[in-house]
Structure 1
Amino acid sequence: MTTDSPLDFTVDKTTKMVYMTREFDADLSLVWDAYTKPEILDQWWAPKPWFSRTKFMNFEVGGRRFYAMISPEGQEHWSLQTYTSITPKTNFKMLNAFADQDENPELPGSDWEFNFSEQNGKTKVSISIYNESLARLEKMIEMGFKEGTAMTLKNLEELLAKLSQR
């Protein structure tokens, strides 16, 4: 069932944007749930051997997700996401900021837009990320954002294959 679809990843430093597109061999509803339900999101939203743990998530406009990516040694890297727009099974937008364990955001953050489309049983997810600061964009890239995202989306592909068999 796996298609091993590559990640299309582009950085535009002049506009401080990152663009990513990935196709999955799964129904739109399942892919949407994987991005919007914490019990599924935490199963794939970190490059292995790291894992994700959501402290709380309220997926509605104005709602927030507060989560940590946790290393095998237990080191926690917290992020706070605030949902700014949601069109069910089509699109959502959020402000993402690194944070401390007490939910204090490290600004500036970045604006993320997720677009979902389905054709012939495959779902395409297109993500654009605007960074207010070029320094923040460069820091993301230096931290291995492209490689980590590719690994994370591979986790999602594997999870979707398991969930689709149910």
Structure 2
Amino acid sequence: MPVISTDRDVEALTLTFVAEFDATVERVWQLWKDPRQLERWWGPPTWPATFDELDFVVDGKARYYMTGPGGDRAHGWWTITAIDEPSRFEFDDGFADADGNPVTPIDSAHGVVTLDPVGDGTRMTVVSYFDSPEQLERMVNLGMEEGMGLALGQIDGILSEV
């Protein structure tokens, strides 16, 4: 499994995942930029994602849903707030209604993804920033920590295909 560490920091209001992959930074970047690749790993294996929209530019939007084992759908959105290709991007994200419109603004978060070369591979760090300890705890209780770990665990399989 590529996840080498997970850190929940209540004081800093962050949830951080660090994973390493046997691929170049540019290749790992494509896993975020290409919606067909992104939907193969975003979400745990039992809740696969479908991206209806991904405009990977500053101020660009993403609209997606994850489908559960019973057919239930959980919708989400992103707004990309910064890009430094191929090493870093930032985005706001949260829950959405069936049309992709943001709902429950108290549960939106800010994500920062960095990709750094490590030997012949890449270290990916994903940090989610929250507004309060209660929000962080609520998202962990909804399965964010476990789900992201499982999601990241799918990336090696995608990278091995190329």
**What is the TM-score when the length of structure 1 is the normalising length?**
0.91
Q: Distance in 1 between matches of 2:118 and 2:8?
A: 26
Q: SS at 2:159's partner residue? A: helix
Deviation at 1:135, TM superposition (A): 2.1
Are 1:131 and 2:125 counterparts? no
Q: Distance in 1 between matches of 2:98 and 2:17?
A: 28
Aligned-pair Cα RMSD in Å: 1.3
Q: 1:134 and 1:104, CA in 2 relative to 1: closer, same or farther beyond 3 A?
A: farther
Are 1:32 and 2:33 counterparts? no
Q: SS at 2:40's partner residue? A: coil
Deviation at 1:7, TM superposition (A): 3.4
Are 1:161 and 2:160 counterparts? yes
Q: Distance in 1 between matches of 2:70 and 2:30?
A: 29
Which AA in structure 2 matches 1:82? T
Which whole-Å deviations, capped at 9, do the CAs of 1:38-67 have from their partners, x for residues lacking one?
011011112112210011110000001000
**What is the TM-score when the length of structure 2 is the normalising length?**
0.93
Which segment drifts farther, 136-145 or 30-39?
136-145
Where does structure 2 lack aligned partners over 5 or more consecutive residues?
none
Q: Distance in 1 between matches of 2:41 and 2:116?
A: 20
Deviation at 1:113, TM superposition (A): 0.4
Q: Distance in 1 between matches of 2:113 and 2:47?
A: 23
Q: SS at 2:26's partner residue? A: helix
The corresponding residue for 1:107 is 105
Which AA in structure 1 matches 2:87? T
Q: Distance in 1 between matches of 2:118 and 2:58?
A: 27
- Is the Cα contact below 8 Å between 2:80 and 2:89 reproduced in 1? yes
Are 1:63 and 2:53 counterparts? no
Are 1:151 and 2:134 counterparts? no
Percent identity reads 26
Which AA in structure 2 matches 1:88? E
- Is the Cα contact below 8 Å between 1:7 and 1:150 reproduced in 2? no
Are 1:13 and 2:10 counterparts? yes
| Aligned residues between the structures | 160
Q: SS at 2:3's partner residue? A: coil
Are 1:79 and 2:54 counterparts? no
Q: SS at 2:105's partner residue? A: strand
